[in-house]
Structure 1
Amino acid sequence: MTQQQANQIKNPKPAGEPKAKGPQMNDRDRINDILAMEKYMTDSLNTAVREASHDTLHQTMMTILNETHQCQRNIFNKMFEKGWYTLEAEDQQKVNQTLQQFQNYASQFPYGNMSGSMTH
């Protein structure tokens, strides 16, 4: 298998999708709207979790946040499976360059490596 073949993503083709879309909502429109709502909810919950001052409330909201992230992932997977969400593979060299760029940024963090535990 060549590097080009290894980088290919097998985007499924949507079954029965019309060539031209009319003004009425179809299943793809509905699930895309639901995905957008889930993304909005996770963004809002992230803020709420950060600002929750009561431990029990914080833990409850973390549970809801994790469930919402999982729901968003399930919707994404279903959309991809149906061919309604396509992905493109990136060239490995460009991925490596971007990784190096962000590793260089990480060296500027005041507490060292942010991926490990922070100690003061």
Structure 2
Amino acid sequence: MEKQPVQSMMIQNKETQIQKTVQMNDRDYLNDVLLSEKYLGTSYVHALQEASHQELYQDIKSVFDQTSEYQRDLYNLMFNKGWYKFESQDPQKIQQTQQQFTQYAQQQFPK
């Protein structure tokens, strides 16, 4: 007997309605800030990798941690307003993928 593929479903909250005009609205502003925070996070990772001094590294790491928290807060706000959604996945598929990467890592980096 063949397994039927599990249908994925979108996970999201009820969307907060906003007026759609040519001018930026709250959703546009939040999306812009979220994208900026993501870009900053990526830039801080590069700076951390190249920091030549321990105190500099710690300062950048502190700012990176704060940026990551802001990014998560913005994501949560947008998700709660229904402006961010994602697709659910089959738990078996997730477990299978995790096992696949675990096996790969064990082969590549034996203890």
TM-score range for the pair, normalised by the shorter chain length? 0.7 to 0.9
TM-score, L = length of structure 1: 0.77
For 2:32 and 2:16, locate their aligned partners in 1 and report how far apart those are by CA, in whole Å.
20
For 1:45 and 1:10, locate their aligned partners in 2 and report how far apart those are by CA, in whole Å.
30
- Secondary structure of the corresponding residue to residue 13 of structure 2: coil
Aligned partner of 1:13 in structure 2 is 14
State, as a whole percentage, how many aligned pairs show the same letter. 42
Q: CA deviation at 1:8?
A: 7.2
For 2:18 and 2:60, locate their aligned partners in 1 and report how far apart those are by CA, in whole Å.
39
Q: Gaps spanning 5+ residues in structure 2: where?
A: 1-5
1:52 lines up with 2:51 in the alignment: yes
Q: CA deviation at 1:108?
A: 2.6
Q: CA deviation at 1:14?
A: 1.5
Deviations 1:22-81 (A, max 9, x none): 432211111111111100000000010111111111100000000000000000010011
TM-score, L = length of structure 2: 0.83
Q: Gaps spanning 5+ residues in structure 1: where?
A: 113-120
Measured on the aligned residues, the alpha-carbon RMSD in Å equals: 2.2
Q: What is the count of residue pairs matched by the alignment?
A: 105
Task: After the TM superposition, list the runs of 4 or more consecutive aligned residues in structure 1 that deviate by more than 3 angstroms.
Answer: 7-10
- Ranked by relative contact order (alpha carbons within 8 Å, sequence separation 6 or more), the top structure is 2
Q: CA, structure 1 residues 55+111, in 2 after alignment: closer, same or farther (shift >3 Å)?
A: farther
Paired letter, 1:13: K
Deviations 1:92-115 (A, max 9, x none): 111111111111211133353xxx
Aligned partner of 2:3 in structure 1 is none
